[in-house]
Amino acid sequence: MSIAIENFVKAIYKNGKRDNNDTKPGNIAKELGISNAAATDMAKKLAIKDLINYEKYQELKLTVKGNKMALNVIRKHRLWEALLFKLFDMSLHDIHREAELLEHQTSDLLANKISEYLGNPKFDPHGDPIPNADGEITTTDTSISLSNSEEGKNYIISRLMSDDKEFFDFCAQHGLKYGNTVLVSKQFSKNKMTQILINNNTILLNEDFTSIIYVNEQD
């Protein structure tokens, strides 16, 4: 299967997981940076290969086979991120970009070797779960986005769901990273801003950011 196909099923998987839940061709096209027509075209092809179920004008739905392929690619992506993060001093954004390419050129054997070397980690450096060799995510995620957090509570950052450089630069600058503690000091419901305290610094986040920063309540 080609790189284009792997990226396509991955995009369906990712968009399906997001709150909007939109897996129509247009949204996939946007994710991949291709035209809507190309996405429709590809959808038909993937249906023939039994990777998705395709009905005109409807959401694209991964078959069991397609889902497995998506998780296999995601596994490789996250294992590469974990390995590069451990070995090299590189920004998470750069690491993501490298993993985006390497994920398609990695045998199952090599993926397993990487996993074994790292002690079969369950999460990557973003806090995203790493599917196992059978394409299953065994960990349960109880985290919520900062948008849905409550004033006055302490949280531990569990995921930074983005591939965006600007966002990661901002995170690196302010200590927003996997495992760190934040206090939600104030929620401004009117303009959907959130004030947090992290590393003894108060910062203000808009919804673009709070919706992709996931946290768990601190006991």
Give the strand pairing for 144-145 and 213-217.
antiparallel
- Binding status of residue 24 toward a copy of itself by CB under 8 A: no
Helix pair 36-48, 25-32: axis angle to 10 deg: 110
Q: Name the β-bridge partners of 157.
A: 215
* Of residues 104 and 186, the one with the C-beta less far from a copy of itself: 104
Q: Give the helix/strand (H/E) hosting 215.
A: strand 213-217
Report the distance separating Cα 182 and Cα 153, nearest Å. 8
Binding mask 29-48 for DNA (x = CB under 7 A): x--xxxxxxxxxxxxxx---
Smallest distance from the beta carbon of 117 to a copy of itself, in angstroms?
Answer: 6
Select the binding partner of residue 185 from DNA, a copy of itself, none (C-beta < 5 to 8 A, by kind).
Answer: none
Which of 14, 61, 93, 97 touches a copy of itself (CB under 8 A)? 97
Q: Of 53-61, 115-123, 147-155, 160-168, which part binds DNA (CB under 7 A)?
A: 53-61
Query: CA-to-CA distance for 135 and 71, rounded, in angstroms?
Result: 5
Task: State the sign of the Cα–Cα–Cα–Cα dihedral 30, 33, 39, 45.
Answer: negative
Q: What is the DSSP letter of 154?
A: E
From the CB of 211, what's the least distance to DNA, in Å? 20
Tell me whether residue 22 or residue 100 sits nearer to a copy of itself (CB atom).
Answer: 100
- List of residues contacting a copy of itself (CB under 8 A): 84, 87-90, 94, 97-98, 101-102, 104-107, 109-110, 113-114, 117
